[in-house]
Amino acid sequence: MANIRSAKKRIRQTQVRTLRNKIRKTMARTAIKRFEDALNRGDWDAASTALKFCASRLDRAAQKGAIHRNTASRRKSRLSHRLKNAQQSAS
């Protein structure tokens, strides 16, 4: 355990930031799960809406530094491809 006051403050700040990042990542994962559920049901309108929400959550997580911006972009791209391919295969 740290003895110096500034080190104690650093530990507190790190804990708060870790918790915030964890919340942001969890919200993004939950949004992705909702998208996947809609996709599996074949509900394209709900999946499209969920995809927009996923993109928003991923962008916010990347903006705040919880995940890397390229990671967010890659995930958004993969999700949009999944939606497109699922719609084409259903048609």
Q: How many residues does the chain have?
A: 91
Query: What would the pLDDT profile of 37-62 be if each residue is shown by its tens digit?
Result: 999 999 999 999 999 999 999 999 99
Question: What is d(CA 57, CA 87) in angstroms, rounded to the nearest whole number?
Answer: 23
Number of domains in the chain: 1
Whether pTM > 0.85 for this model: the answer is: yes
Task: Quote the pLDDT of residue 74.
Answer: 98
Answer whether residue 91 shows pLDDT above 80.
no
Instruction: Please enumerate in sequence order all residues whose Cβ is within 8 A of that of 68, keeping only pairs 6 or more positions apart, or say none.
Output: 62
The CATH number covering residue 41 comes to: 1.20.58.110
Task: Quote the pLDDT of residue 44.
Answer: 93
Angle at 31 between CA 69 and CA 34, to 5 degrees: 145
The tokens for 91 are 């048609």
Task: Quote the pLDDT of residue 11.
Answer: 97
CB-CB contact of 36 with 7 (8 Å): no
Query: What would the pLDDT profile of 5-30 be if each residue is shown by its tens digit?
Result: 999 999 999 999 999 999 999 999 99
Query: In which domain, by residue range, is 62 found?
Result: 5-90
